[in-house]
Amino acid sequence: MKRQMIFLAIICVVVCSAGFAGPEKKLEPGVALTVYNDNFGVVRESRQMLFEKGLNTVKFTDVASAIDPTTVNFRCLSSPGAVSILEQNYEYDLVNTNSLLKRYIDKSVTVVVKGSGADVGRELTGVLLAAIGGDLILKSETEDIEIIGRAGVEEITLKELPEDLVTKPTLVWLADATEKGEQLCQVAYTEQINWNADYSALLSADERKIDFTGWVTIDNKSGASYKDATVKLIAGDVRRITKPPPARARMYLAEQAVDKVAFEEKPFMEYHLYTLGRKSTINNNQVKQIEFISPALGVPVKKLYIYERGRQHIYSRGGQSEKVQIKLEFENTKQSKLGIALPKGKVRVFKKDPADDSLEFVGEDQIDHTPRKEKLSLYIGNAFDIVPEHTLVDSKRSRRRVVETHKIELRNRKEEAITVFVDEKFPAWVNWWIEGETHKYLKRDARTARFEVKIAADSTETLQYTATQTW
């Protein structure tokens, strides 16, 4: 495992120490897990451990294979200060055929070689000289050198398991205990585990309201399972200095919890903390989903049609300005039946088909961390039946001045009247003004002029204006 930079270790020790701070309500074994939405988690595990007085070699097994050993923090809870860690080794060279054979070079092994046809095979005992690729090279008891292909080996017998091999990732400590006896000790460390928020929004039939709910998705790639763990989630942009981990292919088991909502949310420093009110088991290679927002029913929403155009917009979006965007906007307030801290995540929007009451997917967008009393805007797709056509009617250019006349024809092929907002985008470094407009506009910011164009059902409306830019 690659060691992360020392700064990460300092951060994690601070986080782990914060987990230890304050009086313990009850000293008992258990696991607590705090997960950050940046593929990063802090595990705090309490176990009963037996020590002899003086120096002890202690093995702490069942740790995550994705552990960062530089972040390990040890504490004796039952007798603070009674046990100190003098040295730590992280053993992750696990038992397998190659690792065993490597440690048996120049040692005696017994190999059963497969037979063929009438040959029943043979048993060969000798000193293992090499195990290279698919071949075993032995010096037999008769001093002969035997080269045996791995495919012809039926069985290899070794006398004992080498001490430096382990069956699972293990922390090995040199501990100094002031007295003999059993102690309740807590170990904290960081490892790779991630969580994110996923939201569902169900549009009403008239598209003026949504039913909004949220789910926590915990993705455990740590290499360990956490049984009956106390689970906390932290949402926010916590700064870390890390190297990107190597990509690893894994199989996943998806599990969706159906329990009642049980997360309690509260501000925590400059972030938000979500605590699950019950214990939960999070297995290795598992994706677990838990509902964390009670469905907010009837949240008022506005559906907007927006046509963006302008030189910078075309460059940044690869010409997508020739589509009319569909956006949904709503307020994260108590008056709108929300008013809670929303972690960043994907929002999937559905609408019910009245023909069979089935929910159909109509678009999705990603939201950032959003505090209460803030507006959310979801760009869910482009309108099929609204066709914009832009024409540059006239253009005059000089050294520090551009005057352009634009005509935008908006064709509404829907069977209902609509309003399309046309956003003309300007570079941030120019002065601009608009003249001769056929429709009123609002200067939204230093770069945007917004026109409001109302179009009757199955009809066409034309917007024309002259924009002057100087610099």
157, 182, 207 — which closes off a domain? 157
Across 98-236, where does the E strand assignment appear? 108-113, 122-132, 135-140, 145-149, 153-157, 170-177, 181-191, 193-203, 209-220, 226-235
Note every long-range contact of 17-26, with CB atoms under 8 Å and residues 24 or more positions apart, other chains counting: 17/73, 19/44, 19/188, 20/44, 20/73, 20/75, 20/186, 20/188, 24/77
- Write down the pLDDT at residue 142: 78
Rounded to whole angstroms, the Cα distance separating 312 from 285 reads 44
Q: pLDDT by residue (tens digit) across 52-77?
A: 999 999 988 888 888 888 889 999 99
CATH number for the domain harbouring residue 463: 2.60.40
Q: pLDDT by residue (tens digit) across 122-166?
A: 888 888 888 877 788 888 887 888 888 877 787 888 877 776 666
419 within some domain: yes
152 within some domain: yes
115 within some domain: yes
Across 320-455, where does the E strand assignment appear? 325-331, 345-353, 358-367, 375-382, 386-398, 401-412, 418-425, 431-435, 441-445, 448-455
Domains in the chain, number: 2
224 within some domain: no
Q: Name the token pair of 376.
A: 């959310």
CATH number for the domain harbouring residue 145: 2.30.30.100
Counting beta carbons within 10 angstroms of the beta carbon of residue 368, is it exposed (0 to 12), middle (13 to 18) or buried (19 or more)?
Answer: exposed
110 within some domain: yes
User: Distances in Å between the alpha carbon of 429 and those of 54, 406, 471?
Assistant: 72, 21, 7
Rounded to whole angstroms, the Cα distance separating 413 from 54 reads 85
Closest CA to 82 of 155, 175, 209, 13: 175
108, 142, 157 — which closes off a domain? 157
Q: Give the strand pairing for 193-203 and 345-353.
A: parallel
What is the full DSSP assignment across 294-350? Answer: EEEEEEE-EEEEEEEESHHHHHHHTTGGGS-EEEEEEE-STTTT--S-B-SEEEEEE
- Write down the pLDDT at residue 74: 92
157, 174, 199 — which closes off a domain? 157
- Write down the pLDDT at residue 319: 42
Any residues with CB less than 8 A from the CB of 134 and at least 6 apart, and which? 149, 150, 151
Q: pLDDT by residue (tens digit) across 84-111?
A: 999 988 876 666 677 777 877 888 888 8
Domain hosting 421: range is: 386-470
312 within some domain: no
- Write down the pLDDT at residue 413: 97
308 within some domain: no
- Write down the pLDDT at residue 117: 66
Three-class SS state of 103: helix
Rounded to whole angstroms, the Cα distance separating 300 from 207 reads 9
Any residues with CB less than 8 A from the CB of 102 and at least 6 apart, and which? 131
150 within some domain: yes
Q: Which residues of the chain have pLDDT under 50?
A: 1-22, 24, 245-261, 312-320
